[in-house]
């Protein structure tokens, strides 16, 4: 999560290939903070409800955004940020 780290993750072809394999195999994968919106949503890797850092700009990228701190939707785990 975080910026500009999430943008770097989004642009990492090896990472996106791994995430796509995880999705296809129905194995767990996840992201926190900005990454659910910037990485997962932009690469069509969210298959239901998800959460992210509570920013309107990020939330708009997730079709079914939740205000929950952590969301588990099928094999995708997302969080607003690290637990304190």
The two beta strands, 70-73 and 29-32, are unpaired
Share of the chain above pLDDT 90, in %: 90
- This prediction's pTM: 0.92
The two tokens of residue 9 are 């993750």
pLDDT of 5-35, one tens digit each? 999 999 999 999 999 999 999 999 999 999 9
pLDDT of 66-75, one tens digit each? 999 999 999 9
Residue 1 has pLDDT above 80, yes or no: no
The C-alpha torsion from 9 through 15 and 17 to 20, rounded to 10°, is -70
Quote the mean pLDDT of the chain. Answer: 95
């Amino acid at each position: 999560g975080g910026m500009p780290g999430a943008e770097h993750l989004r642009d990492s072809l090896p990472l996106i290939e791994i995430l796509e394999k995880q999705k296809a195999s129905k194995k767990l994968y996840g992201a926190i903070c900005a990454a659910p919106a910037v990485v997962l949503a932009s690469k069509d890797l969210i298959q239901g409800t998800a959460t992210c850092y509570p920013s309107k700009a990020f939330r708009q990228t997730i079709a079914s955004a939740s205000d929950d701190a952590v969301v588990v939707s099928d094999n995708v785990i997302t969080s607003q940020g690290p637990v304190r």
